């Protein structure tokens, strides 16, 4: 079956200010500090970069590399790198100024970020409050509670859960550890993004060990924190040799595309929730925005049709590769590449052809085990 797309935007406004915006986001030493810290954690292990030869063949490209985050820090998603690192950063900052007053952390989440924050807090015996919106599954809520967090369910969508979190934090003196930034709240989301870049550093090392050079990178976006972090890191490493970067979004939460079209951050009102729960975010992180605006080459938005088939496809290898546990958001990269190859005008616009080497990020495993079971069996 051919995949169709909802919307496509080619970023012709790319200009030469990436060095400035990337250095602003990650000044010298920031990502290195995160790498040196996270790689010392007892649970740390590099995640696999898997060559999806069967999929590459089907799509008619030379290679597809899949960075498999399903095993990340036993938490099953790349998000483990960010939230827990930010909790550690909060503790270090307080220790540096001799602040030993009681600490409680909180965040809004659609699941994976909250899991990372609650895991980081539990390890340090810090009380943790997590705010989830109406669409977050019971399975995800259970996992958050199992990490010792107090879970608050809020009416409305992700943005409503952020508002509730901020209100309660103000009233109770809690420290917000959010992966979304807003005016006056930048340091912690930047540290979270620095944590994510461990994934990029590993990928570069793995590609170089195989002497492979990418032509394209697909990055799925919710608030764009991961896409912005990885894009900035890759840009700082490859500069003018940066591969073409394709941002993928759900058509139900297409805040990057809408912002790109207007050339300013635009708040999308989420009416329906995509099954790719981690991508359901109506506003681009203002930290990620300048990076995406100046560094991304393409934005593609799609519906949910491909998600379940691609999860099943990952689960059952048809060739040499291992079976892969890929959750809803992990289907993104495969859907993007297939959609581009199924629609020749897209493949042409993004210069994807038989010589292309594409990186896709399998951002999560079975982070909602009940749903995964239901879909994949
Ligand atoms: C599994 C997964 N993939 C991708 C994303 C998108 O990340 P971001 O919101 O930083 O764009 C999320 C966010 O929660 C996620 O949980």
Q: What was the pLDDT predicted at 89?
A: 96
**Cα 28 to ligand 1 centroid, rounded to whole Å:** 25
Map out the domains of the chain as residue ranges: 7-78+188-376, 80-178
Cα-to-chain-centroid distance, residue 159: 17
Best of 75, 114, 199, 278 for a ligand 1 pocket test (most atoms within 8 Å of beta carbon): 278
Q: Residue with the nearest Cα to atom 13 of ligand 1?
A: 278
Residue 297: name the closest of 207, 253, 358 by CA: 358
Model's pTM, two decimal places? 0.95
DSSP 8-state code for residue 322: P
**pLDDT tens digits, one per residue of 221-278:** 999 999 999 999 999 999 999 999 999 999 999 999 999 999 999 999 999 999 999 9
How far apart are alpha carbons 368 and 354 in whole angstroms? 36
For residue 263, the tally of other CB atoms under 10 A from its CB is 9
Q: What was the pLDDT predicted at 110?
A: 84
Q: Ligand 1 within 6 A of 226 CB?
A: yes
Q: Ligand 1 within 6 A of 371 CB?
A: no
How far apart are alpha carbons 182 and 208 in whole angstroms? 36
Q: What was the pLDDT predicted at 256?
A: 98
Q: Across the chain, how many H-helices and E-strands are there?
A: 15, 11
Q: Ligand 1 within 6 A of 330 CB?
A: no
Q: What was the pLDDT predicted at 88?
A: 96
171 pLDDT exceeds 90? yes
Buried b (16+ CB within 10 A) or exposed e, 334-357: bbbbbbbbebeebbeebebeeebb
> From the candidates 110, 159, 179, 368, which is the catalytic residue?
110
Query: Stretch 112-125: mean pLDDT, rounded?
Result: 95
> What own/partner pairs with CB < 8 Å and gap ≥ 24 does 131-136 have?
131/106, 131/107, 131/161, 131/162, 131/164, 131/165, 131/168, 132/108, 132/161, 133/108, 133/157, 133/158, 133/160, 133/161, 135/110, 135/273, 135/277, 135/280, 136/109, 136/110, 136/111, 136/277
How far apart are alpha carbons 157 and 134 in whole angstroms? 6
Query: Stretch 360-377: mean pLDDT, rounded?
Result: 95
Residue 329: name the closest of 220, 179, 198 by CA: 220
Active site annotation includes 79: yes
Query: Stretch 160-184: mean pLDDT, rounded?
Result: 94
> From the candidates 63, 67, 79, 338, which is the catalytic residue?
79
Q: How confident is the model at residue 182 (pLDDT cuts 50, 70, 90)?
A: confident
Q: In the beta sheet, which residues pair with residue 50?
A: 66
Q: What was the pLDDT predicted at 14?
A: 80
CATH topology of 7-78+188-376 equal to that of 80-178? yes
Q: Please state which CATH class domain 80-178 belongs to.
A: alpha beta
170 pLDDT exceeds 90? yes
**Cα 95 to ligand 1 centroid, rounded to whole Å:** 30
- Give the relative orientation of helices 112-123 and 138-146 as an angle to the nearest 10 degrees: 10
Mean pLDDT for the chain?
A: 96
**Cα 220 to ligand 1 centroid, rounded to whole Å:** 7
Active site annotation includes 308: no
Best of 69, 80, 115, 222 for a ligand 1 pocket test (most atoms within 8 Å of beta carbon): 222
Q: What was the pLDDT predicted at 96?
A: 96
Considering the four listed CATH numbers 1.20.210.10, 3.40.50.1100, 3.90.1150.10, 1.10.3130.10, the one that applies to the domain covering 7-78+188-376 is: 3.40.50.1100
Which two structure tokens, joined as six digits, stand for 62? 């030379």
DSSP 8-state code for residue 71: G
């Amino acid at each position: 079956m051919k995949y169709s797309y909802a919307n496509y935007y080619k970023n012709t406004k790319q200009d030469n200010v990436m060095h400035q915006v990337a250095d602003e986001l990650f000044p010298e030493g920031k990502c290195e500090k995160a790498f040196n810290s996270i790689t010392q954690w007892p649970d740390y292990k590099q995640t696999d970069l898997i060559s999806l030869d069967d999929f590459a063949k089907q799509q008619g490209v030379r290679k597809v590399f899949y960075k498999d985050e399903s095993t990340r820090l036993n938490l099953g998603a790349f998000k483990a790198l960010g939230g827990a690192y930010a909790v550690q950063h909060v503790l270090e900052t307080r220790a540096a100024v001799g602040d030993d007053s009681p600490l409680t952390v909180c965040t809004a989440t659609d699941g994976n970020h909250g899991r990372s924050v609650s895991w980081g807090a539990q390890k340090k015996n810090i009380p943790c409050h997590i705010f989830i919106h109406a669409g977050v599954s019971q399975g995800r809520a259970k996992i958050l509670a199992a990490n010792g967090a107090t879970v608050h369910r809020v009416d409305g969508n992700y943005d409503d859960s952020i508002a509730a979190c901020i209100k309660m934090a103000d009233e109770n003196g809690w420290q917000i550890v959010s992966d979304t930034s807003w005016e006056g709240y930048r340091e912690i989301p930047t540290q979270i993004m620095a944590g994510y870049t461990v994934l990029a550093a590993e990928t570069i090392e793995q590609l170089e060990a195989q002497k492979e050079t990418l032509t394209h990178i697909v990055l799925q976006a919710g608030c764009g924190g991961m896409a912005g972090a990885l894009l900035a890191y890759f840009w700082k490493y490859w500069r003018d040799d940066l591969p073409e970067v394709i941002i993928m979004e759900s058509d139900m939460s297409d805040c990057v595309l809408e912002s790109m079209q207007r050339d300013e951050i635009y708040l999308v009102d989420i009416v329906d929730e995509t099954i790719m729960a981690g991508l359901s975010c109506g506003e681009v992180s203002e930290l990620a925005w300048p990076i995406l605006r100046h560094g991304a080459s393409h934005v593609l938005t799609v519906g949910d049709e491909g998600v379940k088939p691609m999860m099943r496809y990952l689960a059952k290898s048809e060739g040499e590769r291992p079976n892969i546990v890929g959750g809803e958001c992990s289907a993104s990269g495969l859907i993007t590449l297939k959609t581009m190859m199924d629609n020749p005008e897209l493949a042409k616009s993004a210069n994807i052809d038989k010589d292309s080497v594409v990186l896709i990020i399998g951002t999560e495993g079975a982070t909602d085990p009940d749903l995964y079971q239901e879909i994949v069996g």
